[in-house]
Structure formats: structure tokens, C-alpha cells
Structure 1
Amino acid sequence: MSYTIYQNCSKCGSCLPHCSTSAIQRDNDGEFWIEPGLCTGCPDEGSQPECVTRCPTQSIVPLPAKKGRYKAIERIVPSPDIFSNGTNNPFASSMVIWEGCNLLTSASILPWTTDLNGKFYYQRPVKQGRGAMIFRLAAELESTLSASPDTATESIFDVRSACLHLIYAAHAVALERPWEQEFIITDGQIERYLGLEKRKDISKATKLSLIKTWVRQPCQLEVAIDWPQQGRVPGFTLPQERLWHLSEIQHHFQKDESGYKYLTGLTFKIRAGNWSEYFLNKRGGRRRETFYQYGTLPKFLLTAVMSIWQQHIGAARMMLWLLFKTKVGRKQSITVPTLMRVAYGAEKISRASGSREERKRLLRSFENDLEVLHHHGLKPQFDPVTYPPEIQPLWARLADLPNDAEEAIAFWIDDGSSDRRLTDSSPRGKWNGLMKARILSFDLPPEWALPLAKFEQKKQRKIAQKHRSKLKPMGLSGEQILKARKKRGISQRALAQMTGKSQSWIRDLENGRFSAKPQDQAILRRVLGLS
């Protein structure tokens, strides 16, 4: 049972230090209120919670169930909705965002270390170790952890907070200068992005409490960057700073006729950290002074992660990792050990290598998680050489099962008469085979694949254009021909006669309307005495 603070509160604050769940909060006007999603009613403290007994005005009372619909409330105008086309939206996809996403989904399986002051940090080398990104936890989060990194990082972040991290990255792309400009999002927008508006099994108070937690967690990561020179872009160093700045949370309340106050909405003001000046800078990217790195965020991915995170956390981690990996190269092959490290961590793979039972459990989880990816449209294409059918998951081997009943009977008869049947147990050495196996690529849903295909075509055109410009021989320019002709005192008509061309051809060539063919350039060089 949740409690609330009635309107006769004297604002003395006696209740605040006795709330074990931090549900009692103070708004901008100095009034106290209780967040229903955090209040548990303290059932272990006897007949009444301690905050109730400590209140001198008896203002803390049980919160009655809200009657009627939530009314519309006045808010500041939020930023325009993302996913305006209903399927996908550009988002910032630099390595900073990628590693931030990995931390939010996999904090418990990544190799954290402690510095001389006992503070946790995670270091990610970049550019073959020539630079590094160091991630740390914000002070308010660090203070709640134990001393050992092995146990402290068990439950730092909720996997679903990675979805908010990606939503921030999509909003930041819409800004011209995201390191200076804020974007505003509301609980209603977040509900639509994550598919929460369809969840009727969760109360409004619980939704608001969860959203508030998810919104805060990406903003509790700090990063310091030492980036080496890359091509024409000079190297740079950024001091430790928050990945995202949560500058303000606005709480919107509604009072009923009896004077009980209910939380009905939230509005958040957020700004990207200074990393965006170097990785999400349009003007600097055009001048080759900084980077402007973006990808495509499919809307279904957010709702898929929200639906599978609890039962298939490995699949959720792989799905979010592939969001960035496919941008690097959709057709790049991926080894099975790499996918397992992403989904379960290196330590779990190491334990499985030495324990048969651990190995069986890990293989079962991996094959189930691959099936979940396949169900959501990310279909793995197994390498027939390193990942043959005999060690592929059963669901993949059953892909050729006919839908027609008679054809299916014939299929199973043929399978039963073969030396090796689909339902036979896995062969000996399957684990060792998987440690060398590869997945050639993942077939992606159309709303994900089409923007990637366009991006790859654009990339290939740029590469081809650059390659052609390198191969193109240094030809004679119109200006060179004009200077050489005047230096030798030759008129256009005379040069035309000497080269067997028309005077208009010489005139257009000197005016730069076209370039001479290689054989004509050879003649011009000989006649004009050019080397």
C-alpha cells in the first residue's frame, strides 16, 4: 500500500530521513510529496511506517485509488517526436554512444577496475590503443556501491535504460549544436517510443516511476576521451564529464476533490555532453575538423528490447550490439565466441570451457537467444564451412520443414531413414566446433535494412569517386594550354591547324568546357613543347 502527503503538511521535513526507499521528495515549491512507484508502505515496520509515526501533523495517509481519468495538464512544449515516418529515425552512432549502450546493458559482465582512490572505471582502447575512452559512474551512483567491482556492478543499470540512451541519441541528431542546446521529452513520448501505452497491467504511477529511473541512468555515466588524430581530423582530449546532462525534471500533479495529490506526468530537459561537439558536429564534419557520425535506429528494436529483456537478456544485448555493428558493415562475418562474449561475458565462456554442465546451459541459452533474434527479424546466416548443419540449432535445421501436411510426412520419413536425423543429439566436440564457427551476416527487417543499404551505396559511391580521382592522370588544363600558346605566340587558328582540330575545339578547351583525350593531350604537349 502506498502513502501520500495530505494538504495540511507543515513542511517540517521530519519524515524525510526515515524513508528507506527515497519515495518522499520535495518539489520546486518546497512541498513534500511521495512517489507512489517507490513507496512500498514498509510492511516490515509493524502496523505503521516510521514516516507516519514521525509526522507531527499526521499528514501522511494511505493513498486511495484514483477515480476517473487523468486530466490533460499544461506543460512546456516538448521537442518534436522522433520516428515521424513510423519506422525509423537517425541517431548518433559514434563509438562513445556504442560503448555507453554496452555499459547500460552489460555493466555486470564487463571488466571494471578501481583506481588509486577506490573509484570504479571501465577503459575502452581506441584506434589500436593510440587513444582511450574511460567511463566512470557519477558520484551519486558510486556512493551506493560496495568496494568490490565484481559484486558492485551486478545491478547498476536496468537494461531498459539503454533504450532511453538511444532515444537521447536520436533527439540529439535533430539539433544543430547539441552540446549547447537542450531537448525536451515527456513521459507520454517515452511511453509511445517504448510501447508502454499498450501495457494495461501497469499502473500510471508505476510507469512514471520506471520512466524516471530509466531517464536518470544514462545521465549517471561520465566519460573522459583521449582521441588520436584520424585522417585530417586532429586529435583531441576531453576531461571527465557526463555523457548526458539531465538539467531538470518537472513533476506534474493533479488534486482530486478530497485534496489528495497524484503524480500525473513528467517532463525532462536533457543536453548532450561535450563529446557531441567532436562526434556530432555537422559544420565541423564538412570542414573535416570533427566527425559527424550517425546511423538508423529502427523503432521496433526499442519495443523488442522492452519485451525480451527479462527472459532473454543475452538476446537483448546482441540486438543492441548489432545496431552499431551492422552500421560498420552489414556483411561482416561474426564469430560465435564474439557473440557469446557480447551476450554473456568472457568470464562465463571461460567457466563453460571447464565445466560440462556450464557448457550445456550456455549452449542452450545461446541457441534460444539466436531463435529470439530470428523471431524478431534478425535472421543469422550460418557459414556452411565453419558452422555446418550438424552443430546448428534445431530451429534452424527445421527451417526447411514443409507447411503442407503430406509433404511434412514425407520429409520426416526421409529424415528417419537417413544416417543422421535432425532430432539426434548434438555430435561430440560441438563446443570446440562452435568456438571456430562464424555467422556470415544477419538478414535484417526492411525498416532496418533499407536505410543501411542506402548508407552503404552512398559510402561505395564516395570510395569509387575517390578511387577514380586517384587513378585519373594529370591532364592538361585549359589554363596551361592558354599560357603555353601565348608564350609561343601562336594563335588559336594556328594551333588548330598544327593539331588537326578546329578553332572552336581549341577555344572550348581553353575555356574549360571539356578535357582533351589522352591522345590529343600528347599532340598538344608535342606542339606546345610541354613535358
Structure 2
Amino acid sequence: MPYAITKRCIQCDNCLPQCPTSAIKVIEGEYWIDPTLCNNCTGELAPQCVISCPVNSPVPYQAKKGRYKKVEVRTVPSPELFSDGKSHPFASAIVIWELCNVLAQRQSLLWEIDAEGDLYYQRQINGGKGAIAFRVTDSINLESPATLKGAKALSAIKTFDIRSACMHLIYAAHVTNLDQPWQEEFIINDRQIEEYLGLDKRKDLSKSIKLALIKELAQQPCKLIASINLPPQGKIKGICLEKSRLWHLLDIQHDFQEDELGCKHLVGLTFKIKAGEWAQYFLNRQGCKERTAFYQYGTLPKALLSVVMSIWQQHEGAVRMILWLLFKTKIGKEQRITIPTLMKVAYGERKLNQVSLEPENRQRLLRIFESDLEVLNQYGLKPIFDPVTYPLEIQPLWCKLVDIPEDAEAALEFWIDDGSNDTRLTDVAPRGKWNRLMNARILYFEMPPEWKKQLAKSQKKQRTTNCKTKLKPQIALSIEYILEARKRLGLSQRDLAQLTGKSQSWIRDIENGRFQAKLEDQMLLRKVLGIN
């Protein structure tokens, strides 16, 4: 049972150094024991605060009874997000995406140790011309934080909660409301966070548990620091940031109420946050207009936060894919995704490689993967399978059963017809399904309406850009033209791929009619193949 400090406290400081869990805090000159950290001095003969206190101030903690009174004086928070109740812009630069992946995938990523002994995770970008590396620190307010090493860093990574990625996205949404986010700060309180994450509807959680959870989730994105190295792009100079915080947690304001014994009960939290130096390069409106910086943003659906908070325990793989797709689909709808890529996101590259060498464990991972895809489908992210590489016979069972009629008689007739076929929907998967899946692809994900709003904006922007380039309209290249021209020149698909700078699979997909080449790619093909 945790302890609490009553109004008899004379602030002698005797108890502060004696607490083995550092649960005793001094906040605005008042002493308070954090009940989430106090463990009743397990392993000791008696609680150390009780032994060291000369006036017997510490008493067993009793949960506050009755409703919490509204705190009269609180710092005014920044304006609410999701004013339309559905979505809000958020910073979606590559550094934000990667930090979201780190918080979601944690120890599943391939962490390495550098020459100084620091544990780090690095991602190559721009074809290896640039890189982003993340390291862990246990401080949240130091300007030059010290990175954790070895086992300490690994232990810290294991304590990260996947739900902290939601807090990271909330921060990324708040900074889009600021003109110069690298200089300005925003304020967010527990009531806003409860509403964004859907915790206000959780009647099974007490106020103290909610506040403890919010405080922990709010701090975790601030415990990762990034080193960013990007080459120059046009007028934009190269970016070089070393061990820079993405989020500065400037202050945490605790609001208390006292009971009749003078014991303080935490009833509210207010956080003051500021974006790191990255925002000057990736979220700079004026710099974007002058073409000296980027302003990269997307749309954050409010429903996504609720989904993550609802399914994170049972379907962690599905949550990782949802968070990854939030950024991936920002690029555009036609994003072919290989199954190995999705599995690496959901379960980690190390686990995928291990299962590939252990055939006895493949079936279990396949069941989990298909279950996670079903969860995505239930929440509006419907996978559209490539009919060539991902045919019906190796698709998940839930996907095959979508067409079953709701009417009882029609459903009976459906199953009778299915039973008379040579192959049935409920037949066991064909042999070699794993190997076929390793070459399978999903054409794209049909997205919920909140996500489609984001794509409509990007497509409108693309159309505007195409109009500005004033390309001369040309008749679209047909498959027959490309095949005939390639064979006339005596080129193989590999030869044509090398001449155009594309992959052989891209040429094959064009000739098989899986998709049509973009206008600029058609011009390139015309030039290489000599088509007027």
C-alpha cells in the first residue's frame, strides 16, 4: 500500500533521500508521494518515510472519495484539435514518421552499438545519401541530454508503451497551429488528452490511474533524441543535427486537492511542449515559400487514436501497420506494398527472418498476420490484393467469406454451390503458401473517409502542379505499342529497365497491364523506344 504525506509535514527533508523509489516529490514547495511509484518500501522492515519523519506525517494512502472538484486556477491550454470532430493537420516529415515507428516497434527494430557504446537505431534515406539515427535518454528537460548505453538503454526501450505513439502524433498535430514551432510552445492538459485518446469514456479507470498513464505517455516521446543528416536538395541546404530532441517537455504542472487530513490528491496535469530544431527545416512555412526549407504535413484522423487505444493489447501488429500506413498513404493511393514489408513493420525484421528458417512456426505467424489484416479491414483499411501475386486461393479466409449473402436461403444456396466445386472456400491452404506470400503484394488499402480527405488534397495539388508544367498532351501509350517497340529493337525487359532507370518488375507490370505509366514515364518510354 502506498503512503501519503499529511498537513503535519514540517518540510524537514529527512524523508527525501531515504525513499528507495524516488516517489517523494517537492512540487511548488509542497511534499507529495507519487502513489504510482511508492511500493511501501518492499524489502525493508518498514516504510523509510515513516521511520525518518519526526512528526509522523506519512500515513497509508486512501483513494479520494467522491467527485473531484474543478480546479479553479489552471494554465490556459492551447486551442483544441479536431475542430470538425474528425481530423486535424499534423507534421508528417520523415523524422516524425521514423520516431512514430520507433515508439511503435521498439525492441523489434535492429538496434546497434556505436564506438562510444551508445545504443542507436539508424534508418538510411534518400538511397543511402542521408540517415536518421535515434538514441535513448532518461532525462526529459536537459538541453544536452546524456544518452543511455547498453543494458540501460535496452531496459528503457522495453518500458516504452506503443500508446505513446499517439501522444507523439498529438504533439505533431499541435505544432501545425504555430507559425514558428521551433521557437513557440504549446500547452496541453489532461482533459484534452483524455478526450483525444478516448480515455474520458473509460469508466473502469480511476482518475489517478488515468493521470499516471497520461503522464507516462506524455514523457516517452521526449526521451528519444535524433541525429539527422540529409544532403542538399535544390536551394535547401543540407541538414545536420546531432543528438537533438524532437520534443522538449519544458514543464509539467501538477494540480492537487487536499482531503481532511491534508493529504494531497493529484487531480490534473498540464504539459508545456516545444518542438525541436527539426521543425525549422521540416515545418517552416516561410522557408517553404522561399524554397529554403520544407513544410511537410498530412491529416491525422481522430478515429485512429481511438482505434490504437482500443486494440493495442490484442493486436499490436495491426496497430503498428495502422501507424505506418498513416504516413505511407500520405504519398498517394497507388502504393504497392509487399507482404514481407508489412510483416517487418508488424513483427520486426528479426522475427520474420527467424520464422523463415523455422517452417514449424510459419503457420502461427500467418494466422496472426491474417487476423491483423482482418482487424485493419474492420476499421476501414481494406486491403486490395494483387490478383496475380496474391490470388484468391492464398488470401485469408475472412476475405473469401465477404460475399456470403445475409439472407438465410441465399446463404444456404451459396454454400451448396461452393460444396459442388472442385475447390472450396474452406479448403486448407495450398502447399507452398508461405513462399508464395513472400512474393505477394497488396495493390493498395481502401481508406476510411477521414484519410481520403488527405489524399484528395494531395491529388488536387498534383493536378495543379501538372497544369503549371504545361506538358504537351499526348495519346497514352498502349501495351501493344510498348511490346512491339521493345521487340523491334531486340530489347529484353531487363534491357529496357536499365535504359529507363526502372526496375524489371516495373516494366513487367506495365506490359501486363497492372497499371498505366505516369505521363512523365510515358515520355521516357517514348524517348527510349523511339516512339513518336
On whether the aligned pair clears a TM of 0.5, the verdict is yes
TM range (shorter): 0.7 to 0.9
Kindly state the Cα deviation for residue 42 of structure 1 after the two structures are TM-superposed: 4.7
CA distance in 1, matches of 2:302, 2:35: 30
Who is 1:137 aligned against? Answer: 136
* CA distance in 1 between partners of 2:459 and 2:273 (Å): 32
Question: Which moves more between the two structures, 268-277 or 5-14?
Answer: 5-14
1:113–1:149: 8 Å Cα contact kept in structure 2?
no
User: Offset of 1:352 from its aligned partner?
Assistant: 0.9
- Which secondary structure does the structure 1 equivalent of 2:90 belong to? strand
SS at match of 1:155: helix
Give the partner amino acid of 1:10.
I
Do the aligned residues in 1 keep the contact of 2:138 with 2:148 (CA within 8 Å)? no
Q: Is the CA contact (8 Å cut-off) linking 1:107 and 1:153 kept in structure 2? A: no
Contact 1:382 1:388 in 2 (8 A): yes
Q: Deviations along 1:355-387, whole A, 9 cap, x unmatched?
A: 123211211111111111111111111111111
Q: Which moved more, 1:355-364 or 1:434-443?
A: 355-364
Match of 1:265 in 2: 268
1:452 maps to amino acid: L
Question: 1:6 aligned to 2:6?
Answer: yes
1:56-455 map, 5 Å: 56-73=54-71, 74-140=73-139, 147-148=150-151, 152=155, 155-455=158-458
SS in 1 for 2:123: strand
Q: Please give the secondary structure, in 2, of the residue aligned with 1:337.
A: helix
Secondary structure at the residue paired with 1:271?
strand
The corresponding residue for 1:36 is 35
Taking a change above 3 Å as real, the CA distance of residues 438 and 291 of structure 1, as seen in their structure-2 partners, is same
In structure 1, what is the Cα distance between the partners aligned to 2:40 and 2:205?
A: 18
Write the distance in 2 (CA, Å) between the matches of 1:208 and 1:198.
14
What is the deviation of 1:234? 2.1
* Residue identity in the other structure for 1:63: Y
Moved more, 223-232 or 191-200: 223-232
Most deviating of 430-439 and 61-70: 61-70
Contact 2:163/2:309 (8 A) holds in 1 = yes
Q: Do the aligned partners of 1:2 and 1:39 also contact (CA within 8 Å) in 2? A: yes
2:106/2:157 contact within 8 Å kept: yes
Aligned equivalents of 1:176, 1:155: Cα separation in 2: 36
User: Could you tell me how far 1:2 is from its partner in structure 2?
Assistant: 2.9
**2 CA distance for matches of 1:302 and 1:425?**
36
Looking at structure 2, the residues matched to 39 and 60 of structure 1 have their Cα atoms a distance apart, in angstroms, of 12
Name which of structure 1's ranges 354-363 and 188-197 shifts more when overlaid on structure 2: 354-363
**Structure 1 stretches of 5 or more lacking a match?**
472-531
Q: Are the aligned partners of 1:135 and 1:221 in contact in 2 as well (CA < 8 Å)?
A: yes
Query: SS where residue 265 of structure 1 aligns?
Result: strand
With 103-112 and 461-470 compared, the bigger mean Cα shift is at 461-470
Q: State the AA in 2 paired with 1:109.
A: S
Structure-2 change in CA distance of 1:306 and 1:207 (3 Å): same
**Aligned-residue offset at 1:416:** 1.3
When structure 1 is superposed on structure 2, of 142-151 and 280-289 the one drifting more is 142-151
Say if 1:458 and 1:60 are closer, same or farther in 2 by CA, change over 3 A.
same
> 1:107, 1:154 within 8 Å by CA — same for their partners in 2?
yes
The amino acid that maps onto 1:71 is K
The 3 A distance-change label for structure 1 pair 150 and 286 is closer
Return the alpha-carbon distance in structure 2 between the equivalents of residues 218 and 342 of structure 1: 19
C-alpha spacing 1:156/1:145, structure 2 compared with 1 (3 Å): farther
SS in 2 for 1:327: coil
* Counterpart Cα distance in 1 of 2:195 and 2:460: 32
**Secondary structure of the corresponding residue to residue 319 of structure 2:** helix
Aligned to 1:462: 465
Residue type of the alignment partner of 2:290: R
Alignment partners' CA distance in 2, 1:221 and 1:171: 19
Please give the secondary structure, in 2, of the residue aligned with 1:251.
Answer: strand
Cα distance in 2 for residues equivalent to 1:417 and 1:467: 58
* CA-CA distance at 1:32 after TM superposition: 1.7
Offset from partner CA, 1:162-210 (integer Å, 9 cap, x none): 0000000000000000000000000000000000000011111111111
- Distance change (3 Å), C-alpha of 1:42 and 1:153: closer
Distance in 1 of aligned mates of 2:231 and 2:406: 56
The 3 A distance-change label for structure 1 pair 18 and 405 is farther
The Cα shift of 1:430 comes to 0.5
User: Structure 1 CA distance, aligned partners of 2:50 and 2:234?
Assistant: 64
1:259 is displaced (CA, Å) by: 1.8
Q: Describe the shift of the 1:251–1:347 C-alpha distance in structure 2 as closer, same or farther (beyond 3 A).
A: same
Structure of higher CA gyration radius: 1
Aligned-residue identity in percent: 56
- What number of residue pairs does the alignment pair up? 469
User: Letter of the aligned partner of 1:36 in structure 2?
Assistant: P
In structure 2, stretches of 5+ residues that fail to align are: 475-532
Q: C-alpha root-mean-square deviation of aligned residues, in Å?
A: 2.1
Superposition deviation, residue 82 in structure 1:
0.4
Residue type matched to 1:442 in 2? F
Q: Which position in structure 1 is the counterpart of 2:520?
A: none
Deviation at 1:139, TM superposition (A): 4.7
Determine if contact 1:36/1:206 at 8 Å carries over to the other structure: no
In 2, Cα distance between equivalents of 1:183 and 1:150: 29
The answer on whether the counterparts of 1:112 and 1:149 sit within 8 Å (CA) in structure 2 is no
